[in-house]
Structure formats: structure tokens, C-alpha cells
Structure 1
């Protein structure tokens, strides 16, 4: 009897782990691997879990219990919970219009939502779907200055008040297990093709009628022949500015008039330098 619920009534799901199991059952393996896998031996992925599990709390007992106060002020805004939705790419491969669903859910709960540069929904579509959203935009520094500037202008026009600059992905992780899903670049292995056929619900939801979703934000800049799923990811990896530096960040700080958050901090010296450059917040990698 001790097994996770596998039905469709989400109210019966008790934990994040149970939700993940339900998702895994509905997704073909290659999509789940993209979502849940890590780089190389996945040491960082495992430590992200084990380091948090190692933190314990020592609580006093026999104290009056009241409703906990969960409100917090973040970047000058009052939030009902100390939670925001971080940027994640290619959500449309998991569920149709998933970016829009996340944005609407965040707006209903008055929580911030961060749209990834490599989202399937466009900046404009998210704003239209959730007019009251506390809207943040995540930027990968790009080699092409014109493309980066156009993304910033679009984010400004959509009312994004916070820009999250990712600095730890200029060289993408070597996701060995993810690559094992493919026989060659852009070509799923035979086993994974057969596995896709075993998930007709996913095929109907995600692939019908237009095939794999494209990267909505970047579509205007991608050559037409590369506007398929894997071609788009290749384009993104080639456009990453591997020479992005503190000097370039300082210029971006002058360019962006809203709040600016630096994502990718590992060292305390970098945190201090980010504060010195006028960052409004940091995200520890």
C-alpha cells in the first residue's frame, strides 16, 4: 500500500516527490531526463538535496502555537510567502503553454514569476496572459549586442520590473545522461523513439498539431532552418557570451533602470563585488 498516488486528482498528492513521480509517469524518458537530470556524475545535483537535508532545526517545546507569519518583503515588494518562481527553459515540452500556466498561478498568489530567455512562450504572451503579474525576466548574456538589446526593450515594454542575469551558464553543463537519449545530435535513439510512442497522452498534448514547441522569445533571431527544438538549443549555446565580465555587467547595470539580480554566485568575494556594482540581489548557485 505504500506507493505514490498515480491518478489525476492533484488534491490527493501529498509532496513534491509524489508530484515528481506523477510527472515522470506522464512524460517520455527523454523529456523527464531533460527536466530532472544533472551534469556528468550529477554530484552537484545530489548535493543540492543532501546539503539541505543536513540542516536541522532545534525547536523549543511547550510554547504557545499561533498561525505562522509567512509574509516577507523582497526587492521592496510585500509577498505572502518567501517564494518566487525561478526561470526554467522549455517548459512547453512538459505541458502545453506551461509558461503561461506558471505565470497565471504566480499572479493568483501574488508571487513573482521569472520568465527564461529560452522559454517557449514569449515575453508579450506572458504579460497578456497575466496582466497583474509581478513579472521578472531572466537574461542570458548574448554575443549579439543587437539581440540582447532587443530582448531588454521587449522586457521593458512588457513591464518587467526585475532583470535576472544568469552568469553560470555561459558554458553549458556536460549532461551525459541527457545525451544518452540521442543516437546522434538531434536524433533520438530507437529505444527513446519507442518510449515516446508509449506516451500517447504526451504526444497529443505537446506535439499536436505543430510538433515540438519552439523558443518563443528567440524565434525572431533564429535562422528559419534552425527554428526546431534541437536547432534552437544549438543556436542558444552558440550565442552565449563566454566573455561576459564584471565590466560588461557594470554597463548592463547602467543600461537597466529597474531592479537587477545576479544569478550564479558561488564565492563570497563575488557576492561583495555584486553589491559594490549596485546589484539589488543575488541568487546563489
Structure 2
């Protein structure tokens, strides 16, 4: 029998611990977020539906993004034990220069719509963390503004080849003059994908005050106050910013883009050149043979062709075939630092985070981006230690098994 007694007041007092309340509400909510999914939950609560859905959604039935995220979940790690991992080195080398962590911020369009600090918050947070920041052609901060926000860090620029070629060429020259070191020549957007959430929401640039948007804004007055009291949205490449997202994208993109355009841009650009949107091994080989500096395996976050190949599944073959000759990067679906570690183990030089950073931005501006980076960095560090890897160079394919869920049927 267990012997029971009346609790002693002194012993009860020993168990009473009261946490000092955090008066900074933004800091409190960000500290409560332990994962990127937690940041997503906060972002959804604080952002009007149309802006959140533009960020969170993808094309048509959104099959591509679900498959991409599932592919990272379907990973089995193989740890090595009894290794001293008190300290690990998370430094990656990509395009010949260091990055403190094996991920960079991906290019995202219309970023100040998610939260008014936009690319300035992303670039500043990237610089503070020692990782690269990528500005989109459809970004809402100029190349000069990003350079000012991240003057000593690594800035990359993502290029759409537009119908009016001189606009694209001018952006290439401006990015070079502003000291951007790497250009992402984007090849997966001859036309805009069918982003049905945006169509159903009547999402437009700039947002329109309709009965629907006013009702949606009532619980989120801070978002509209920020939007209406900060400078007008300005796009890096478009002078006409009115209209639907799809209409703007169709105006910006050109289905006649070809290898001739790549040659012109290569001649204009003095820095490193990577091809973003590669989705087959054959294309990866073709671009590598042309001497590009990087291959970005990406299906545009599932926002272009639905049912597109899963970039993470392509990674082992592409890294094995061309990884000695060019830097292989992967994006789409990364929501955890363990996803990043798995990609590095299978041959990626680095990875790109898009939505993961934007959820932080919507949850708390610059501080939210800092929190997203910190969450991923902590997960990378812990996963490496649990795998017994002292550095990224020690991560190898033997550490990872990609479990099969979708297996192609044999052709008759």
C-alpha cells in the first residue's frame, strides 16, 4: 500500500512556478510557435483570406504541393551513434561562397501584400542569419531597396523573361549594378498556372475594397491599417499594377521563351547563373552541358503545372549525374529543418524556403522571419546531431531512404 499524508505547505510552494508575463504581444505569439506549421496557423489568423490564400495556395487541385510535402515526410533516416556531436557545422558552400545554413530565402512575388515589411524584412533577416536572399522579378521592393536592407549579405535575383524583353534586360543590368551575385533564369512559367483560390477570392493587385474584403478585414484591422498607411505597392518590373494576379502574370511571362533568350541573358549577366524550374534529368543534363553554374529543381511550389514531378524525388539522380559539374539546389515543400538535411544528404548544395519564410512574415513581420529561420536552424542542428554528422559534408545518401508511396505503373 502507498503511504499517504497531508501535503506540507512548504512543499506545495516549491512546486508553484509563475512565469513572468510577456507584455510584448508579438514576441509572445512568435515565441509560442515551435514549428513552421505553428507560424502558418498564426499567419492565417492575422492575414485576410485573399492574401493568405495567395501565399498558401497552389495550382488547380493543389496536388503538386501536397505530394512534395509528403515526399519529405516519407523519409527514413539512418543515424550513426556514439559520435561526439557537441558541436556541428551547418555551413554550406554554394556558388563558391559560404552560407551559414543550408537554406536560402526563395523568390516570392507580391511579398508586401502578405505583410507590409515584405522583402525588406526577408533580406534583413537573411543578412542577419548569414544566408542568401532572393528577390523576385514580381517582388514589391526594388533591387536597390533589397541591397540597402542587406548591404553586406548575399543577394540573388530571380528573372522572368517577359514579353517586353527590354524590361527583363534592364532588370538584369540593375541587379548587376546593385551587386547581386547570382541570377535565377526561370524556365517553368511560359504561362501562369491556374491558381483557383485566387480566382474564387477575386484576388487582385492592388487589393480592392469590396463587401467581401471589408467583411474579411473586420477581425484583422491591423493588416489594412498597415496596408493603407505605408507606401504604395511598386513592382520591380511592371508599371501597370492593376488587374488580377493571373492577368499580371500572363502579361509578365512569354510562351515564346527559348534557349536564345538564355544566351542573351548569359551574355548580359556577369555573375553566377542558375536555371530555376528544372523538372527532368534530361533538362538538367542539357543545361549543365551549356555551362550554367546551378540547377534549381523546382515545380514553382506547385503553383504552375499541377501533378508536376516532385523535386525531392528527382534530386538523387540529378545530383549523381551533374552534381560534380554544377550546384544542384532543391525547393518546393520544405517545412522542417529535417527536410533540409535530407536534401543535403541526397546531394543538394542548398535548399530554398518560400512559404516557410512567408508564414513567419505574416505572423510577425521581420521578427516573424527571424523566428522562421531560427526554427529551421534549430531543426537542422538537432537533426544533424541525431544523425551523428559533424558537418554537411558528412551527410551522404546512406543517411536517407526515400520511402515509396507513388510508384509508376509498368507500361504495356
Name the TM-score, length of structure 2 as normaliser.
0.62
Distance 1:208 1:37 in 2: 27
**Residues 253, 278 of structure 1: 8 Å contact kept:** no
Equivalent residue for 1:234, pick from 243, 247, 272: 247
Q: Matched residue pairs, number? A: 271
Distance 1:216 1:252 in 2: 21
Shift of 1:209: 5.1
Name which structure has the greater RCO, CA cutoff 8 Å, separation 6+. 2
**Residues 168, 237 of structure 2: 8 Å contact kept:** no
For the aligned residues, what is the CA RMSD? 2.2
Question: Which 4+ stretches in 1 moved above 4 angstroms?
Answer: 183-189
Distance 1:184 1:112 in 2: 30
Is 1:68 aligned with 2:88? yes
Is the partner of 1:120 in helix, strand or coil?
coil
Distance 2:43 2:251 in 1: 31
Distance 1:120 1:62 in 2: 49
**Residues 162, 251 of structure 2: 8 Å contact kept:** no
Is 1:215 aligned with 2:234? yes
Is 1:83 aligned with 2:103? yes
Equivalent residue number for residue 182 of structure 1: 202
Shift of 1:131: 1.3
Gapped runs of 5+ residues in structure 1?
1-6
Shift of 1:208: 2.2
Is 1:244 aligned with 2:257? yes
Name the TM-score, length of structure 1 as normaliser.
0.88
Distance 1:183 1:123 in 2: 26
Shift of 1:252: 2.0
Is 1:197 aligned with 2:218? yes
Equivalent residue number for residue 307 of structure 2: none
Distance 2:142 2:204 in 1: 30
Distance 1:83 1:114 in 2: 11
Shift of 1:245: 1.4
- List per-residue Cα deviations over 1:95-144 (Å, max 9, x = no partner): 11210111111111221110001111111111122211211111001121
Gapped runs of 5+ residues in structure 2?
1-24, 299-412
Equivalent residue number for residue 161 of structure 2: 141
Distance 1:284 1:121 in 2: 26
Equivalent residue number for residue 282 of structure 2: 269
